[in-house]
Amino acid sequence: MKQWTALQTYLALGNLLSAAGELEIDTCPIEGFEAEAYNKILGLTEKSYTTSVLAAIGYRSSEDKTQHAAKVRKDRADLFENID
């Protein structure tokens, strides 16, 4: 149940990322962190909660020199294969 519940947070994360994008707010989902440390800092352990995923959210700095740089994308033929 704990594993299933942790994976369900990704549904909410997807909605968060989409909603923020519509509002032109930058986001970055984060894994590979020490959940126990976050649980302690946020006081989650005492409430029987645990951290499963993080998301950094905020507005891009106007001083970010790369924000208007052209995006590099792979060709669709290299990314997708049609299966008939």
CATH of the domain at 43: 3.40.109.10
What's the maximum distance between 2 C-alpha atoms anywhere in the chain? Answer: 53
Q: Please give the chain's pLDDT, 84 residues, in tens.
A: 888 988 899 999 999 999 999 999 999 999 999 999 999 999 999 998 999 999 999 998 889 888 888 888 889 889 899 898
Q: pLDDT value at position 84?
A: 83
Tokens of 40: 């302690």
Q: Indicate whether 84 belongs to any domain.
A: no
Q: pLDDT value at position 39?
A: 95
Domain residue limits at 27: 2-79
Q: How far apart are CA 13 and CA 11, in angstroms?
A: 5
Number of structural domains, the chain?
1
Q: Indicate whether 30 belongs to any domain.
A: yes
Q: Indicate whether 48 belongs to any domain.
A: yes
What's this model's pTM, rounded to 2 decimal places?
Answer: 0.69
